[in-house]
């Protein structure tokens, strides 16, 4: 009887050692309070975006934004080349534009659904009444079409603040290199900015 | 038959093969049937190797199915050999000393089945050499699968080499030197517990699967293994007692019954504990148990499966515990069969599949093995039975001659 | 035994018979060696019996590919060699001209990702872009990205619907996307028995497809359903294959191997946005360098209320959700 007591007693230290091995493999990193975010936040040196060697610059026409974001200056996609009938001053001179059904013929495709019915915006709320090549904000300042964010941001200041910082809108093509972002009107039709309801482009096939 | 008196290792192997190729008509038919099933298994596996695992019923949600279920259960059966070794070597029970070699043969067969199930489940079995440390990378000690590879192969070696040494000594007509193999026997007792705990830790260590991620899984595995394994061994011993000249004493069966009953009762207590935790205050973590026992979102294919298993388990345990008929084999052996099947159901499909359903994002699917999985499983089970038959037959012939 | 053989030789005195005997022996040996070569080749190619169509060059390339190391342990030379082999195999087998890159991680970069659950409208453009960019299997409709239509008041995707197909957005529902979150403390990396998956220094959790043994333990370990398995041979229409690939990214994955979102490693290591971020029409996805204090992702983490999925598991994902 004593022999087997001896043998099983010899098993105990081996069992303990094995348990230690298991715990060593367990690496209790998840249970600790530390997080990789502490290291992330400790980094203070700005990242040199140009250090990513293979980044290709954006080829679409851009303008330098009139505001700076936390990383300095950035560029915005230009809009004037996208507007079909720009320059507006080719029709809208000092004289009034006269013509039968001129509004429907030229700007009939514009459906203004900006704001709630009854209190919705009208054309003159954004467009400069004299200089049709520019927009006008509520303070009477002329705003260029490429910099329409200055106008949108007067009311939608939260979205504009987020857009400048990067939580709203989208960067064009690259996460590295010089920052180029989409303009407000690249995504939102300024006359009816809300995205249309549509079907999803694809669906997930259930697994059974 | 080797008639010359000179015996050596070569004749040992040759005789072992010869004994297994000869036998009565029933034995030959049995072998033929197993060979046919193995052939079917090989055909089904070649189909799977050609077209990929898409021919099984598994998908990205139920990524482990019938193969891993059987692997899990059979590791338990392999570990159960310890329940013969313990009385034989620790308590020096002479009746168990006669049957311990059969238990080790069953362990080897079960382990070969386990390793085969892993191989057929792999998506890239040809890349299995990547596991070998030195020429590949072995993620030890981080990955529990790496631990499992080590402990299973180690246990296979222990259970193959120790009986091989003893049998070879007996074949040569001399007594096996106990001092040489006794430490390994004790190591294998400890190792048997560890193989099943490590296999349980495979599942227990995944926080992504709340059905498995509970501390009771390891002990539960041990309890169910020590109920199902000895039940199988009891059936095999009964078969040996009936069909061969190697007679086994009644006391072995009575003691096995006690081992089975105690383990089965502990298994049921643990089952009750799990059911209480899942259903007293069901959380999102209980959704797997809800799916298993009651069905979810119209998917209830496992509900009859688990309820059958639990009821049969309970009935068989009661029969074995209360022992109506007073150790009558006609009562106890069917009870062992039912207990074995019930635990196979609950620990196999009833553990692996609900662990993966619902998916981590809450999607519920059903799982059904396809013909490929069924035939490959049949082939592997036949392989295991063949291995056990070969080992046990060789062992019994040598032991009988040695006893004379 | 020897006497019998001499008799046979004496019998075949007729020269034509002798020639036939010799040629039959020769052809038997030839057939045996061809058979052995075919068997070994088919073993190498994974029991696929279409060896007849393969050239010897292709077999040699596959043989070399079979014995290569884990990508992480390769020297740059070996990496270049393996992608050259892969490109050549693709051109031999499918006639495709691919550019498989081995770009190393960019210095001082740790990628982070943010998802705006106010702005997502469920259009699933991201899913479609991901499928096209990453050459995902069309036959099984593999999608790395899942979008859930959620009931307000509940954040658990299990309460949402991942299989919707109707006009979106539905009023009073919000949309949440999941994919591999590239956890800093990933359970999948810990689980892999061969270290076929690991976290690169720039934070991307990658898979060496040729090293993976297909055990799917990582798929069981992932709490976010981030991983997909190649249950069969993947099929992508030839004209839709993205040819700019990365070894650890969107190259053709072999059958029986694990795959997952790689933050479009073939794009991001060249300074481009992942396909999902670029495709989103509502700008709900933000991607950038966490180690750059001036990046957009850091702005989001600083100024927005962010949360991560199943944060209590301690996996430290690098994918945050935020609301406007």
* pLDDT tens for each residue of A79-130: 999 888 888 888 888 777 788 888 888 888 888 889 888 888 888 889 988 8
**Cα–Cα distance between A8 and B154 in angstroms, integer?**
20
Of residues B8 and A171, more confidence is placed in A171
Q: What angle do CA C131, C137, C141 make, to 5 degrees?
A: 75
Looking at residues B327-332, what average pLDDT do you find? 87
C113 neighbourhood in chain A, CB within 8 Å: none
A195 neighbourhood in chain C, CB within 8 Å: 121, 281-282
Q: Model-level pTM?
A: 0.87
pLDDT of residue C10: 43
Output C279-282 pairs: Cβ under 8 A, ≥24 positions apart.
Answer: C279/C125, C279/C126, C279/C128, C279/C129, C279/C130, C280/A170, C280/C120, C280/C123, C280/C125, C280/C126, C281/A187, C281/A195, C281/C123, C281/C125, C282/A187, C282/A195, C282/C119, C282/C120, C282/C121, C282/C123
pLDDT tens-digit readout, B98-122: 889 999 999 999 999 999 999 999 9
A3 pLDDT band, cuts 50/70/90, is low
Residue A23 has pLDDT above 70, yes or no: no
pLDDT of residue B3: 52
pLDDT tens-digit readout, C59-80: 999 999 999 999 999 999 999 9
Neighbours of B322 (CB within 10 A): 9
pLDDT of residue C2: 44
Sequence-separated (6 or more) residues with CB below 8 Å from residue C40: none
Sequence-separated (6 or more) residues with CB below 8 Å from residue C186: C199, C205, C315
Q: Among A107-121, B291-305, B328-342, B351-365, which is the least confidently predicted range?
A: A107-121
Q: Give B156 to chain A, closest Cα distance, Å.
A: 19
Residue C47 has pLDDT above 60, yes or no: no
pLDDT of residue C209: 96
Interface test with A, best of B56, B65, B90 (most A CBs within 10 A): B90
pLDDT of residue C17: 46
Q: Given B59, B91, B141, which is nearest A25 (Cβ)?
A: B141
Domain boundaries, chain A: 54-187
pLDDT tens-digit readout, C265-284: 999 999 999 999 999 999 99
Residue C309 has pLDDT above 60, yes or no: yes
pLDDT of residue A14: 57
B194 neighbourhood in chain A, CB within 8 Å: 18
Note whether A12 contacts B: Cβ–Cβ < 8 A. Answer: no
Q: Given A4, A11, A207, which is nearest B365 (Cβ)?
A: A207
B288 neighbourhood in chain C, CB within 8 Å: none
Alpha-carbon Rg for chain A in angstroms: 31
Domain boundaries, chain C: 52-97, 111-322
Bridge-based pairing state of the strands C111-116 and C285-289: antiparallel
**Cα–Cα distance between B62 and B355 in angstroms, integer?**
9
A69 neighbourhood in chain C, CB within 8 Å: 294, 299
CB contacts under 8 A, A 27-56 vs C, are: 27, 29-31, 35-36, 40, 43-44, 46-47, 49, 51-52, 54-56
Residue among B134, B127, B123 nearest C73 (CA)? B134
A5 pLDDT band, cuts 50/70/90, is low
Q: Please report the DSSP string for A66-112 in residue order.
A: EEEETTEEEEEE--GGGSTT--GGGT-SSSPP--TTHHHHHHTT---
The number of C-beta contacts closer than 8 angstroms across A and C is 161
pLDDT of residue A29: 46
Q: Given A44, A54, A202, which is nearest C124 (Cβ)?
A: A202
Residues of B with CB under 8 A from a CB of A: 59-61, 90-91, 140-142, 147, 186, 190, 194, 201, 299, 363, 365-366
**Cα–Cα distance between B133 and B296 in angstroms, integer?**
44
C45 pLDDT band, cuts 50/70/90, is very low
B22 pLDDT band, cuts 50/70/90, is confident
Whether C249 and C264 have beta carbons less than 8 Å apart is answered as yes
**Cα–Cα distance between B39 and B41 in angstroms, integer?**
5
Residue among B251, B358, B259 nearest B302 (CA)? B358
Residue C238 has pLDDT above 70, yes or no: yes
Looking at residues B269-293, what average pLDDT do you find? 95
pLDDT of residue B20: 87
**Cβ–Cβ gap A206/B365 under 8 Å:** yes
pLDDT of residue C52: 52
Among chain B residues, CA nearest to A207: B365
Sequence-separated (6 or more) residues with CB below 8 Å from residue C319: C112, C113, C114, C115, C179, C181, C182, C308, C309
- Output the CA–CA distances (angstroms, integers) from residue B70 to B77, B116, B140, C217, in the order listed: 10, 10, 25, 16
Q: Which residues pair with A135 in a beta bridge?
A: A127, A143
Of residues B175 and C221, more confidence is placed in C221
**Cβ–Cβ gap B142/A24 under 8 Å:** no
pLDDT tens-digit readout, C251-266: 999 999 999 999 999 9
Q: Given C48, C187, C233, which is nearest B207 (Cβ)?
A: C187
Among chain A residues, CA nearest to C108: A47
The percentage of chain B sitting over the pLDDT mark of 90, rounded to a whole number, equals 74
Interface test with A, best of C118, C132, C145, C271 (most A CBs within 10 A): C271
Residue C36 has pLDDT above 60, yes or no: no
- Residue written as tokens 């098993």? A11
Looking at residues C30-37, what average pLDDT do you find? 47
Chain B: list its partners (3+ Cβ pairs within 8 Å).
Answer: A, C
pLDDT tens-digit readout, C145-192: 999 999 999 989 988 999 999 999 999 999 999 999 999 999 999 999
Looking at residues B134-157, what average pLDDT do you find? 93
Whether C151 and C160 have beta carbons less than 8 Å apart is answered as yes
**Cβ–Cβ gap C289/A182 under 8 Å:** no
**Cα–Cα distance between C161 and A115 in angstroms, integer?**
32
Q: Given C167, C273, C290, which is nearest A173 (Cβ)?
A: C273
Q: Which CATH architecture has domain C111-322?
A: 2-Layer Sandwich (3.30)
- Residue written as tokens 């046990």? B392
Note whether A23 contacts C: Cβ–Cβ < 8 A. Answer: no
> Three-state DSSP class for A29?
coil
**Cα–Cα distance between B327 and C1 in angstroms, integer?**
63
Q: Give A112 to chain C, closest Cα distance, Å.
A: 20
The number of C-beta contacts closer than 8 angstroms across B and C is 154
Note whether C151 contacts B: Cβ–Cβ < 8 A. Answer: no
**Cα–Cα distance between C291 and C111 in angstroms, integer?**
8
pLDDT of residue A17: 61
Alpha-carbon Rg for chain B in angstroms: 22
Q: Given C193, C230, C258, which is nearest B146 (Cβ)?
A: C193
Note whether C254 contacts B: Cβ–Cβ < 8 A. Answer: yes
pLDDT of residue B369: 95
Note whether A24 contacts C: Cβ–Cβ < 8 A. Answer: no
**Cα–Cα distance between A159 and A153 in angstroms, integer?**
7
Whether B347 and B79 have beta carbons less than 8 Å apart is answered as no
C110 neighbourhood in chain A, CB within 8 Å: 36, 40
Among chain B residues, CA nearest to C48: B50
- Considering the four listed CATH numbers 2.60.40.10, 3.30.420.40, 1.20.1630.10, 3.40.50.740, the one that applies to the domain covering B9-403 is 1.20.1630.10
Among chain B residues, CA nearest to C176: B361
Note whether C187 contacts B: Cβ–Cβ < 8 A. Answer: yes
Q: What are the φ/ψ torsions at residue C292 (nearest 5 degrees)? A: -100, 110
- For chain C, the residue count is 324
Among chain A residues, CA nearest to B142: A25
Interface test with A, best of B60, B141, B185 (most A CBs within 10 A): B141
Q: Give A126 to chain C, closest Cα distance, Å.
A: 23
pLDDT of residue A99: 80
**Cβ–Cβ gap C291/A29 under 8 Å:** no
pLDDT tens-digit readout, B41-67: 999 999 999 999 999 999 999 999 999
Of residues C313 and A99, more confidence is placed in C313
**Cβ–Cβ gap B127/C193 under 8 Å:** no
A7 pLDDT band, cuts 50/70/90, is low
Chain A: list its partners (3+ Cβ pairs within 8 Å).
Answer: B, C
B60 neighbourhood in chain C, CB within 8 Å: 219, 225, 227-229, 231
- For chain B, the residue count is 404
pLDDT of residue A18: 64
Residue B360 has pLDDT above 50, yes or no: yes
**Cβ–Cβ gap A202/C114 under 8 Å:** no
pLDDT of residue C310: 94
């Amino acid at each position: 009887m004593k022999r087997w007591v001896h043998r099983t007693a010899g098993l105990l230290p081996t069992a303990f050692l094995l348990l230690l091995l298991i715990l060593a493999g367990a690496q209790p990193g998840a249970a600790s309070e530390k997080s990789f975010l502490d290291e992330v936040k400790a980094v203070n040196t700005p990242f040199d975006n140009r250090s990513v060697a293979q980044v290709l610059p954006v080829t679409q026409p851009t303008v330098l934004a009139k505001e700076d974001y936390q990383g300095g200056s950035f560029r915005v996609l230009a809009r004037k080349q996208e507007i079909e009938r720009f320059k507006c001053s080719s029709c809208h001179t000092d004289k009034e534009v006269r013509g039968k059904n001129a509004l429907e013929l030229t700007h009939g495709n514009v459906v203004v659904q900006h704001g709630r019915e009854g209190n919705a915006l009208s054309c003159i709320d954004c467009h400069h009444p004299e200089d049709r090549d520019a927009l006008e904000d509520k303070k009477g300042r002329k705003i260029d079409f490429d910099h329409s964010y200055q106008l949108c941001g007067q009311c939608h200041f939260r979205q504009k603040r987020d857009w400048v910082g990067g939580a709203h809108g989208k960067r064009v093509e690259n996460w590295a290199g010089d920052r180029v972002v989409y303009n407000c009107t690249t995504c939102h039709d300024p006359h009816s900015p809300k995205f249309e309801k549509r079907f999803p482009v694809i669906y997930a096939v259930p697994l059974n | 038959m080797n008639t010359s008196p000179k015996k050596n290792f070569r004749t040992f192997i040759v005789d072992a093969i010869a004994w297994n190729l000869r036998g009565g008509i029933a034995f030959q038919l049995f072998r033929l049937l197993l060979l046919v099933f193995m052939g079917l298994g090989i055909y089904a596996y070649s189909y799977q190797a050609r077209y990929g695992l898409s021919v099984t019923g598994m998908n990205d949600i139920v990524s482990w199915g019938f193969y891993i279920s059987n692997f899990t259960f059979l590791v338990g059966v392999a570990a159960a050999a310890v329940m013969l070794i313990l009385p034989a070597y620790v308590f020096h029970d002479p009746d168990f000393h006669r049957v311990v070699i059969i238990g080790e043969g069953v362990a080897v067969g079960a382990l070969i089945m386990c390793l085969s199930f892993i191989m057929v489940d792999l998506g890239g079995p040809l890349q299995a050499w990547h596991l070998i440390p030195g020429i590949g990378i072995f993620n030890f000690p981080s990955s529990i699968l790496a631990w499992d590879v080590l402990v299973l192969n180690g246990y296979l070696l222990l259970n193959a080499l120790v009986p091989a040494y003893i049998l070879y000594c007996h074949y040569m007509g001399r007594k096996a030197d106990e001092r040489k193999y006794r430490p390994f026997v004790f190591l294998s007792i400890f190792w048997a517990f560890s193989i099943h705990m490590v296999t349980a830790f495979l599942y227990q260590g995944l926080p992504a699967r709340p059905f498995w991620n509970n501390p009771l899984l390891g002990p539960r595995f041990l309890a169910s293994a020590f109920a199902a394994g000895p039940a199988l061994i009891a059936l095999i011993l009964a078969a040996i007692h009936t069909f061969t000249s190697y007679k086994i004493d009644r006391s072995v069966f009575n003691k096995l019954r006690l081992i089975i009953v105690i383990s089965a009762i502990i298994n049921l207590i643990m089952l009750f504990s799990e059911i209480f935790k899942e259903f007293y205050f069901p959380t999102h973590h209980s959704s797997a148990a809800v799916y298993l026992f009651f069905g979810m979102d119209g998917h209830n294919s496992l509900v009859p499966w688990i309820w059958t298993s639990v009821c049969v388990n309970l009935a068989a345990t009661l029969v074995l515990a209360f022992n109506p008929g007073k150790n009558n084999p006609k009562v106890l052996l069917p009870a062992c069969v039912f207990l074995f099947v019930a635990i196979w159901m609950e620990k196999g499909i009833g553990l692996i599949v609900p662990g993966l359903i619902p998916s981590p994002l809450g999607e519920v699917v059903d799982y059904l093995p396809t013909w490929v999985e069924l035939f490959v499983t049949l082939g592997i089970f036949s392989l295991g039975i063949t291995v056990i038959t070969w080992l046990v037959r060789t062992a019994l012939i040598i032991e009988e001659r040695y006893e004379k | 035994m020897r006497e019998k053989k001499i008799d046979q030789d004496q019998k075949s005195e007729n020269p034509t018979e002798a020639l036939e005997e010799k040629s039959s022996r020769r052809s038997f040996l030839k057939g045996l060696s061809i058979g052995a070569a075919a068997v070994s080749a088919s073993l190498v190619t994974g029991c696929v019996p279409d060896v007849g169509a393969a050239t010897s060059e292709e077999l040699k390339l596959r043989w070399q590919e079979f014995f290569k190391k884990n990508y992480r342990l390769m020297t740059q030379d070996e990496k270049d060699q393996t992608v050259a082999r892969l490109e050549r195999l693709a051109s031999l087998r499918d006639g495709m001209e691919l550019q498989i890159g081995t770009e190393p991680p960019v210095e001082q970069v740790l990628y982070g990702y943010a998802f705006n659950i106010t702005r997502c409208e469920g259009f699933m453009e991201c899913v479609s872009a991901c499928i096209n960019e990453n050459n995902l299997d069309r036959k099984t409709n593999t999608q790395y990205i899942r979008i859930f239509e959620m009931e307000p008041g509940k954040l658990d995707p299990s309460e949402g619907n991942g299989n919707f197909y109707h006009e979106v957005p539905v009023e009073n529902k919000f949309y949440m996307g999941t994919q591999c979150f590239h956890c800093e403390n990933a359970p999948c990396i810990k689980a892999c028995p061969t270290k076929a998956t690991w976290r690169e220094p720039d934070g991307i959790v990658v898979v060496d497809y040729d090293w993976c043994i297909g055990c799917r333990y990582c798929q069981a370990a992932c709490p976010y359903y981030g991983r997909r398995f190649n249950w069969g041979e993947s099929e992508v229409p030839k004209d839709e294959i993205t040819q700019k690939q990365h070894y650890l990214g969107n190259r053709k994955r072999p059958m029986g191997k694990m795959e997952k979102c790689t933050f479009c490693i073939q794009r991001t290591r060249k300074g481009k946005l992942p396909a999902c971020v670029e495709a989103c029409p509502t700008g709900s996805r933000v991607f950038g360098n966490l180690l750059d204090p001036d990046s957009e992702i850091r702005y989001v983490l600083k100024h927005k209320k962010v949360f991560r999925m199943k944060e209590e598991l301690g996996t430290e994902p690098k994918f945050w959700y935020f609301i406007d």
